[in-house]
Amino acid sequence: MEELIGEKETEDKAKNFASLIKGFKNSLLINLIGNLGAGKTTFVRGLIQELGFDEFVKSPTFTIVESYESDNLKVFHFDLYRIEDDKELQAIGVEDYLTEENAITLVEWPEKSKRYFNNPDYIIELNHCDNDEKRLINIIKDPRQ
């Protein structure tokens, strides 16, 4: 676990992570785990910006998914905090997102789905420390191993 202080350090860590995954050959599934306000969306914002997307990165808490697309890359940012069951994901066509080629799928609150997002390539764990500015981050590559 690494300690991060403030949003800037969280975004910087995400930018470093982006450089690690740039140039991937297949699609990636990245699950983000942590309590409310732990910095999951802040991490996603830094990652998406470092991948070359200039648009404002907002939390998809109410829309469930936000998409970012360029000529050679698609990024899908899911926030499952408000979903009740997998039927809601089916209704928005989650399987279409998960079968896209050259896509990075980022999922906040993946544990809310029983059927999807179960085999991530990476898990990003973010946790609060003693004060609001301090966080702990742990990046787990291929947790299936």
Q: Which of 20, 15, 62 is nearest to 43 (CA)?
A: 15
Query: Is 42 inside any structural domain?
Result: yes
| Domain region containing 50 | 10-21+28-128
Query: Is 71 inside any structural domain?
Result: yes
Q: Does the pLDDT value for residue 66 go beyond 80?
A: yes
Distances (CA, A) of 139 to 41, 47, 61, 74, 122: 15, 13, 23, 22, 7
Query: Is 115 inside any structural domain?
Result: yes
Contact 60, 66 (CB under 8 A): yes
Query: Is 120 inside any structural domain?
Result: yes
When pLDDT is cut at 50, 70 and 90, the band that residue 22 belongs to is confident
Query: Is 72 inside any structural domain?
Result: yes
CATH number, domain of 118, equals: 3.40.50.300
Here the tokens at position 38 are: 């732990």
Q: Could you give the number of structural domains in the chain?
A: 1
Share of the chain above pLDDT 90, in %: 50
Query: What does the mean pLDDT of the chain come to?
Result: 88
Query: Is 5 inside any structural domain?
Result: no
Averaged over 98-114, what is the pLDDT?
93
